[in-house]
Structure 1
Amino acid sequence: MLFLSPEASRPADGWPAAPAPGRGRGDSVTPANAETARDADAPLYPLVFIGPMASGKSKIGRRVARTLRVPFLDTDTLIVSEHGPITEIFAEHGESHFRDLERAAVADALRQQPAVVSLGGGAVLDAATRDALRHTTVISLSTTAEAVRNRTKNAKRPLLADGPDAWQRIYDERRPLYEALASVHFDTSTRPVDAIAADIVKWVRKQS
Protein backbone atom coordinates (compact mmCIF):
# COMPACT_ATOMS: atom_id res chain seq x y z
CA MET A 1 0.00 0.00 0.00
CA LEU A 2 1.45 3.34 -1.04
CA PHE A 3 1.20 6.49 1.05
CA LEU A 4 2.64 9.77 -0.17
CA SER A 5 3.37 11.93 2.11
CA PRO A 6 14.58 3.95 23.82
CA GLU A 7 16.63 4.07 24.57
CA ALA A 8 18.06 5.68 21.52
CA SER A 9 19.77 9.05 21.84
CA ARG A 10 17.58 12.09 21.35
CA PRO A 11 19.05 14.45 18.70
CA ALA A 12 20.73 17.52 20.15
CA ASP A 13 18.42 19.79 18.20
CA GLY A 14 15.29 18.00 19.40
CA TRP A 15 12.57 16.03 17.70
CA PRO A 16 10.63 17.83 14.94
CA ALA A 17 6.87 17.98 14.83
CA ALA A 18 5.34 15.43 12.47
CA PRO A 19 4.58 16.89 9.02
CA ALA A 20 1.26 16.87 7.24
CA PRO A 21 1.13 14.19 4.53
CA GLY A 22 2.79 15.18 1.25
CA ARG A 23 1.53 14.46 -2.22
CA GLY A 24 4.67 13.33 -3.96
CA ARG A 25 8.38 13.88 -4.37
CA GLY A 26 9.38 17.15 -2.76
CA ASP A 27 5.85 17.88 -1.50
CA SER A 28 6.38 17.24 2.22
CA VAL A 29 4.79 19.97 4.32
CA THR A 30 6.28 20.72 7.73
CA PRO A 31 5.48 23.33 10.37
CA ALA A 32 7.81 26.31 10.68
CA ASN A 33 9.34 24.92 13.88
CA ALA A 34 10.00 21.48 12.40
CA GLU A 35 12.86 20.14 10.34
CA THR A 36 14.14 22.36 7.54
CA ALA A 37 12.13 21.72 4.39
CA ARG A 38 13.44 19.26 1.84
CA ASP A 39 14.93 20.63 -1.34
CA ALA A 40 12.09 20.54 -3.88
CA ASP A 41 14.69 20.56 -6.67
CA ALA A 42 16.72 17.68 -5.25
CA PRO A 43 18.01 15.24 -7.89
CA LEU A 44 16.33 11.86 -8.22
CA TYR A 45 19.49 10.00 -7.14
CA PRO A 46 20.64 8.79 -4.80
CA LEU A 47 17.50 6.98 -3.69
CA VAL A 48 17.82 6.60 0.07
CA PHE A 49 15.89 4.09 2.17
CA ILE A 50 15.20 5.03 5.79
CA GLY A 51 12.98 3.48 8.44
CA PRO A 52 13.02 1.41 11.62
CA MET A 53 15.14 -1.67 12.18
CA ALA A 54 13.89 -4.73 10.28
CA SER A 55 11.53 -2.78 8.03
CA GLY A 56 13.11 -4.32 4.93
CA LYS A 57 15.35 -1.47 3.79
CA SER A 58 18.18 -3.69 2.60
CA LYS A 59 16.10 -6.42 0.97
CA ILE A 60 13.79 -4.02 -0.81
CA GLY A 61 16.54 -1.54 -1.66
CA ARG A 62 18.64 -4.27 -3.24
CA ARG A 63 15.73 -5.36 -5.45
CA VAL A 64 14.98 -1.79 -6.45
CA ALA A 65 18.62 -1.17 -7.37
CA ARG A 66 18.76 -4.37 -9.42
CA THR A 67 15.66 -3.42 -11.38
CA LEU A 68 16.86 0.15 -11.97
CA ARG A 69 20.36 -1.14 -12.82
CA VAL A 70 22.22 1.08 -10.40
CA PRO A 71 24.62 0.20 -7.55
CA PHE A 72 23.24 -0.70 -4.14
CA LEU A 73 24.98 0.41 -0.93
CA ASP A 74 24.07 -0.63 2.61
CA THR A 75 25.78 1.58 5.18
CA ASP A 76 25.67 -1.10 7.89
CA THR A 77 27.45 -3.48 5.51
CA LEU A 78 30.05 -0.82 4.72
CA ILE A 79 30.71 -0.32 8.44
CA VAL A 80 31.04 -4.06 9.06
CA SER A 81 33.43 -4.51 6.14
CA GLU A 82 35.76 -1.84 7.48
CA HIS A 83 35.33 -2.03 11.26
CA GLY A 84 33.90 -5.45 12.12
CA PRO A 85 30.54 -6.67 13.45
CA ILE A 86 28.20 -3.96 14.73
CA THR A 87 27.44 -5.97 17.87
CA GLU A 88 31.15 -5.89 18.73
CA ILE A 89 31.44 -2.17 18.02
CA PHE A 90 28.55 -1.53 20.43
CA ALA A 91 30.00 -3.85 23.08
CA GLU A 92 33.57 -2.56 22.90
CA HIS A 93 33.14 1.12 22.07
CA GLY A 94 29.50 2.05 22.73
CA GLU A 95 26.75 3.51 20.61
CA SER A 96 28.34 6.96 20.33
CA HIS A 97 31.39 5.53 18.56
CA PHE A 98 29.17 3.53 16.23
CA ARG A 99 27.22 6.68 15.31
CA ASP A 100 30.49 8.41 14.39
CA LEU A 101 31.37 5.55 12.05
CA GLU A 102 27.84 5.57 10.67
CA ARG A 103 27.93 9.30 9.91
CA ALA A 104 31.09 8.84 7.83
CA ALA A 105 29.71 5.79 6.03
CA VAL A 106 26.49 7.60 5.12
CA ALA A 107 28.39 10.63 3.79
CA ASP A 108 30.52 8.38 1.57
CA ALA A 109 27.50 6.44 0.29
CA LEU A 110 25.49 9.55 -0.55
CA ARG A 111 28.29 10.75 -2.83
CA GLN A 112 27.67 7.81 -5.15
CA GLN A 113 25.71 8.75 -8.30
CA PRO A 114 23.45 7.15 -9.27
CA ALA A 115 22.83 4.65 -6.48
CA VAL A 116 20.31 3.18 -4.08
CA VAL A 117 21.43 3.55 -0.46
CA SER A 118 20.02 1.80 2.61
CA LEU A 119 20.64 3.48 5.98
CA GLY A 120 20.60 1.95 9.43
CA GLY A 121 17.52 2.72 11.50
CA GLY A 122 19.30 5.27 13.69
CA ALA A 123 21.24 7.11 10.98
CA VAL A 124 18.62 9.89 10.96
CA LEU A 125 19.57 10.83 14.53
CA ASP A 126 22.58 12.69 13.15
CA ALA A 127 21.88 16.32 12.19
CA ALA A 128 24.49 16.35 9.40
CA THR A 129 22.94 13.23 7.89
CA ARG A 130 19.47 14.75 8.02
CA ASP A 131 20.75 17.86 6.26
CA ALA A 132 22.30 15.73 3.50
CA LEU A 133 19.09 13.73 3.07
CA ARG A 134 17.13 16.88 2.27
CA HIS A 135 18.99 16.94 -1.05
CA THR A 136 18.14 13.36 -2.02
CA THR A 137 15.05 11.26 -2.74
CA VAL A 138 14.11 9.58 0.54
CA ILE A 139 11.96 6.44 0.62
CA SER A 140 10.64 5.81 4.11
CA LEU A 141 9.57 2.27 5.07
CA SER A 142 7.41 1.39 8.06
CA THR A 143 6.33 -1.85 9.67
CA THR A 144 4.84 -3.21 12.90
CA ALA A 145 6.33 -4.78 16.01
CA GLU A 146 4.55 -8.04 15.20
CA ALA A 147 6.12 -8.20 11.74
CA VAL A 148 9.53 -7.40 13.21
CA ARG A 149 9.17 -10.16 15.79
CA ASN A 150 8.62 -12.67 13.00
CA ARG A 151 11.56 -11.35 10.97
CA THR A 152 14.20 -11.12 13.70
CA LYS A 153 13.87 -14.27 15.78
CA ASN A 154 17.54 -15.12 15.32
CA ALA A 155 18.91 -11.69 14.42
CA LYS A 156 21.86 -10.22 16.33
CA ARG A 157 20.90 -6.55 16.55
CA PRO A 158 22.10 -4.76 19.70
CA LEU A 159 19.13 -2.40 19.91
CA LEU A 160 16.68 -5.31 19.63
CA ALA A 161 18.12 -7.16 22.60
CA ASP A 162 15.23 -6.11 24.87
CA GLY A 163 12.51 -7.39 22.55
CA PRO A 164 9.63 -5.90 20.53
CA ASP A 165 8.57 -3.44 23.23
CA ALA A 166 11.99 -1.78 23.04
CA TRP A 167 11.74 -1.78 19.24
CA GLN A 168 8.39 0.01 19.44
CA ARG A 169 9.73 2.67 21.82
CA ILE A 170 12.68 3.35 19.57
CA TYR A 171 10.46 3.52 16.49
CA ASP A 172 8.00 5.88 18.17
CA GLU A 173 10.83 8.27 19.06
CA ARG A 174 12.36 8.23 15.59
CA ARG A 175 9.12 8.26 13.61
CA PRO A 176 8.87 12.09 13.40
CA LEU A 177 12.29 12.18 11.76
CA TYR A 178 11.39 9.51 9.22
CA GLU A 179 8.18 11.36 8.36
CA ALA A 180 9.84 14.77 8.10
CA LEU A 181 12.53 13.51 5.72
CA ALA A 182 10.39 11.28 3.49
CA SER A 183 9.69 11.92 -0.17
CA VAL A 184 7.37 8.91 -0.15
CA HIS A 185 6.28 6.24 2.34
CA PHE A 186 5.58 2.52 1.97
CA ASP A 187 4.32 0.08 4.60
CA THR A 188 6.12 -3.28 4.57
CA SER A 189 4.22 -5.09 7.32
CA THR A 190 2.35 -7.69 5.28
CA ARG A 191 2.98 -7.46 1.55
CA PRO A 192 5.68 -9.51 -0.25
CA VAL A 193 9.06 -7.84 -0.66
CA ASP A 194 8.99 -8.19 -4.45
CA ALA A 195 5.59 -6.49 -4.69
CA ILE A 196 6.72 -3.55 -2.56
CA ALA A 197 9.93 -3.20 -4.59
CA ALA A 198 7.92 -3.20 -7.81
CA ASP A 199 5.68 -0.41 -6.49
CA ILE A 200 8.71 1.64 -5.50
CA VAL A 201 10.29 1.20 -8.92
CA LYS A 202 7.04 2.31 -10.53
CA TRP A 203 6.97 5.42 -8.32
CA VAL A 204 10.62 6.24 -9.06
CA ARG A 205 10.11 5.95 -12.81
CA LYS A 206 7.21 8.38 -12.61
CA GLN A 207 9.54 10.94 -11.03
CA SER A 208 12.16 10.74 -13.79
Structure 2
Amino acid sequence: MTEPHGPRVVLIGPMGAGKTTVADLLAQAWGCEVRDTDQDVEAQEGRSVQEIFIELGEPYFRDRERAAVRAAVREHTGVLALGGGAVMDPGTREVLVGQRVVFLNVGLADAAKRVGLGQGRPLLVGNIRSRIKTILTERLPIYAAVASHVVDTDGRPADEVADEVRAWVEAEEGA
Protein backbone atom coordinates (compact mmCIF):
# COMPACT_ATOMS: atom_id res chain seq x y z
CA MET A 1 0.00 0.00 0.00
CA THR A 2 1.29 3.46 -0.81
CA GLU A 3 1.90 5.80 2.07
CA PRO A 4 -1.26 7.84 2.65
CA HIS A 5 -1.09 11.53 3.36
CA GLY A 6 -2.62 12.58 6.63
CA PRO A 7 -3.09 10.62 9.82
CA ARG A 8 -1.18 7.42 10.52
CA VAL A 9 -4.54 5.78 11.20
CA VAL A 10 -8.18 6.88 11.37
CA LEU A 11 -10.43 5.09 13.87
CA ILE A 12 -14.14 4.77 13.12
CA GLY A 13 -16.96 2.89 14.78
CA PRO A 14 -20.08 3.32 16.86
CA MET A 15 -20.29 4.79 20.32
CA GLY A 16 -18.89 2.35 22.84
CA ALA A 17 -16.38 0.81 20.41
CA GLY A 18 -13.43 2.30 22.31
CA LYS A 19 -12.17 4.77 19.70
CA THR A 20 -10.96 7.36 22.22
CA THR A 21 -9.26 4.84 24.50
CA VAL A 22 -7.60 2.96 21.63
CA ALA A 23 -6.51 6.25 20.01
CA ASP A 24 -4.82 7.30 23.26
CA LEU A 25 -3.03 3.93 23.56
CA LEU A 26 -1.82 4.08 19.95
CA ALA A 27 -0.57 7.64 20.30
CA GLN A 28 1.28 6.68 23.46
CA ALA A 29 2.91 3.69 21.73
CA TRP A 30 3.90 5.72 18.68
CA GLY A 31 4.83 8.95 20.48
CA CYS A 32 2.39 11.02 18.43
CA GLU A 33 -0.68 13.18 18.97
CA VAL A 34 -4.34 12.18 19.01
CA ARG A 35 -6.93 14.29 17.28
CA ASP A 36 -10.65 13.77 17.90
CA THR A 37 -12.99 15.51 15.49
CA ASP A 38 -15.76 15.82 18.10
CA GLN A 39 -13.32 17.78 20.26
CA ASP A 40 -12.32 19.89 17.23
CA VAL A 41 -15.96 20.82 16.59
CA GLU A 42 -16.55 21.57 20.27
CA ALA A 43 -13.49 23.84 20.36
CA GLN A 44 -14.58 25.72 17.23
CA GLU A 45 -18.19 26.09 18.39
CA GLY A 46 -17.48 26.79 22.06
CA ARG A 47 -20.08 24.23 23.16
CA SER A 48 -20.54 20.49 23.49
CA VAL A 49 -21.69 18.17 20.73
CA GLN A 50 -24.87 17.61 22.73
CA GLU A 51 -25.54 21.37 22.89
CA ILE A 52 -24.90 21.73 19.15
CA PHE A 53 -27.41 18.94 18.41
CA ILE A 54 -30.04 20.50 20.67
CA GLU A 55 -29.54 24.14 19.70
CA LEU A 56 -28.57 23.93 16.02
CA GLY A 57 -29.55 20.43 14.90
CA GLU A 58 -27.81 17.37 13.50
CA PRO A 59 -27.40 18.73 9.92
CA TYR A 60 -25.48 21.74 11.28
CA PHE A 61 -23.28 19.46 13.40
CA ARG A 62 -22.58 17.08 10.48
CA ASP A 63 -21.51 20.05 8.33
CA ARG A 64 -19.07 21.20 11.04
CA GLU A 65 -17.91 17.61 11.54
CA ARG A 66 -17.19 17.15 7.82
CA ALA A 67 -15.06 20.32 7.84
CA ALA A 68 -13.21 19.06 10.95
CA VAL A 69 -12.47 15.70 9.32
CA ARG A 70 -11.25 17.41 6.15
CA ALA A 71 -8.92 19.67 8.15
CA ALA A 72 -7.62 16.81 10.28
CA VAL A 73 -6.86 14.61 7.27
CA ARG A 74 -5.03 17.52 5.65
CA GLU A 75 -3.06 18.65 8.75
CA HIS A 76 -2.70 15.77 11.21
CA THR A 77 -0.11 12.98 11.08
CA GLY A 78 -0.91 11.08 14.29
CA VAL A 79 -3.99 9.12 15.33
CA LEU A 80 -7.40 10.46 14.31
CA ALA A 81 -10.62 9.36 16.04
CA LEU A 82 -13.94 10.23 14.41
CA GLY A 83 -17.30 10.59 16.05
CA GLY A 84 -19.61 7.60 15.68
CA GLY A 85 -21.82 9.13 13.00
CA ALA A 86 -19.14 10.90 10.96
CA VAL A 87 -19.02 8.30 8.18
CA MET A 88 -22.76 8.58 7.59
CA ASP A 89 -21.99 11.77 5.66
CA PRO A 90 -21.03 11.06 2.01
CA GLY A 91 -18.66 14.05 1.99
CA THR A 92 -16.82 12.70 5.02
CA ARG A 93 -16.56 9.27 3.42
CA GLU A 94 -15.03 10.91 0.35
CA VAL A 95 -12.40 12.66 2.52
CA LEU A 96 -11.38 9.26 3.94
CA VAL A 97 -10.63 7.66 0.57
CA GLY A 98 -6.98 6.60 0.52
CA GLN A 99 -6.58 6.77 4.32
CA ARG A 100 -5.82 3.84 6.64
CA VAL A 101 -9.23 3.51 8.27
CA VAL A 102 -9.79 0.98 11.04
CA PHE A 103 -13.35 0.10 12.02
CA LEU A 104 -13.56 -0.81 15.71
CA ASN A 105 -16.56 -3.13 15.66
CA VAL A 106 -18.66 -3.62 18.79
CA GLY A 107 -21.82 -5.62 19.41
CA LEU A 108 -24.97 -4.38 21.10
CA ALA A 109 -24.27 -5.88 24.55
CA ASP A 110 -20.75 -4.45 24.85
CA ALA A 111 -21.76 -1.08 23.34
CA ALA A 112 -24.64 -0.73 25.81
CA LYS A 113 -22.37 -1.55 28.76
CA ARG A 114 -19.70 0.89 27.63
CA VAL A 115 -21.95 3.89 26.99
CA GLY A 116 -23.82 3.47 30.27
CA LEU A 117 -26.76 5.82 30.47
CA GLY A 118 -25.73 7.73 27.38
CA GLN A 119 -25.00 10.99 29.15
CA GLY A 120 -23.75 13.54 26.65
CA ARG A 121 -24.75 11.39 23.67
CA PRO A 122 -27.45 13.28 21.77
CA LEU A 123 -28.65 10.33 19.69
CA LEU A 124 -29.42 8.21 22.77
CA VAL A 125 -32.67 9.77 23.84
CA GLY A 126 -35.26 7.28 25.08
CA ASN A 127 -34.60 3.55 25.39
CA ILE A 128 -30.81 3.45 25.18
CA ARG A 129 -30.44 -0.21 24.26
CA SER A 130 -33.05 0.11 21.51
CA ARG A 131 -31.42 3.28 20.14
CA ILE A 132 -27.97 1.65 20.09
CA LYS A 133 -29.42 -1.37 18.26
CA THR A 134 -31.02 0.90 15.64
CA ILE A 135 -27.81 2.91 15.21
CA LEU A 136 -25.69 -0.23 14.86
CA THR A 137 -28.07 -1.71 12.29
CA GLU A 138 -28.05 1.50 10.23
CA ARG A 139 -24.32 2.15 10.41
CA LEU A 140 -22.52 -1.22 10.38
CA PRO A 141 -22.61 -1.66 6.58
CA ILE A 142 -21.23 1.85 6.07
CA TYR A 143 -18.45 1.40 8.64
CA ALA A 144 -17.45 -1.84 6.93
CA ALA A 145 -17.49 -0.22 3.47
CA VAL A 146 -15.28 2.70 4.56
CA ALA A 147 -12.78 0.60 6.54
CA SER A 148 -9.43 -0.67 5.32
CA HIS A 149 -9.38 -3.07 8.28
CA VAL A 150 -11.87 -4.27 10.93
CA VAL A 151 -11.03 -5.08 14.54
CA ASP A 152 -13.65 -6.72 16.77
CA THR A 153 -13.65 -5.23 20.28
CA ASP A 154 -16.27 -7.34 22.06
CA GLY A 155 -14.99 -8.79 25.32
CA ARG A 156 -11.47 -7.52 24.68
CA PRO A 157 -9.41 -5.09 26.75
CA ALA A 158 -8.48 -1.84 25.01
CA ASP A 159 -4.75 -2.57 25.10
CA GLU A 160 -5.29 -5.82 23.15
CA VAL A 161 -7.40 -3.97 20.57
CA ALA A 162 -4.74 -1.24 20.28
CA ASP A 163 -2.02 -3.87 19.83
CA GLU A 164 -3.97 -5.43 16.95
CA VAL A 165 -4.50 -2.04 15.28
CA ARG A 166 -0.83 -1.13 15.78
CA ALA A 167 0.38 -4.42 14.28
CA TRP A 168 -1.86 -3.97 11.24
CA VAL A 169 -0.81 -0.34 10.64
CA GLU A 170 2.88 -1.17 11.02
CA ALA A 171 2.53 -4.11 8.61
CA GLU A 172 0.80 -1.80 6.10
CA GLU A 173 3.58 0.75 6.45
CA GLY A 174 6.18 -1.94 5.80
CA ALA A 175 4.37 -3.31 2.75
Q: Which of the residues 112, 124, 139 maps onto 1:174?
A: 139
| Partner SS for 2:75 | coil
What is the Cα-based RMSD across aligned positions, in Å?
Answer: 1.5
Alignment of 1:43-192 (within 5 A): 43=4, 45-46=6-7, 47-83=9-45, 84-154=47-117, 155-162=119-126, 163-192=128-157
| Partner SS for 1:140 | strand
Quote the Cα distance in structure 1 between the aligned partners of 2:143 and 2:111: 17
Quote the Cα distance in structure 2 between the aligned partners of 1:152 and 1:113: 28
- For the 8 Å contact 1:48–1:118, the answer to whether it is kept is yes
Give the AA of the match of 2:41: I
| Partner SS for 2:80 | strand
Structure 1, unaligned runs of 5 or more: 1-39
Which is helix-richer, 1 or 2?
2
Quote the Cα distance in structure 2 between the aligned partners of 1:100 and 1:153: 28
- For the 8 Å contact 1:42–1:137, the answer to whether it is kept is no
Deviations 1:29-61 (CA, angstroms, capped at 9, x unpaired): xxxxxxxxxxx6462752111111121111101
Quote the Cα distance in structure 1 between the aligned partners of 2:140 and 2:116: 23
The runs of at least 4 consecutive aligned structure 1 residues that moved more than 2 Å come to none
Determine the structure 1 residue equivalent to 2:172. 207
Structure 2, unaligned runs of 5 or more: none
- For the 8 Å contact 2:108–2:136, the answer to whether it is kept is no
Give the AA of the match of 2:42: V
- For the 8 Å contact 2:105–2:152, the answer to whether it is kept is yes
- For the 8 Å contact 1:42–1:134, the answer to whether it is kept is no
| Partner SS for 1:129 | helix
Task: Give the length in aligned residue pairs.
Answer: 169
Offset of residue 81 of structure 1: 1.8
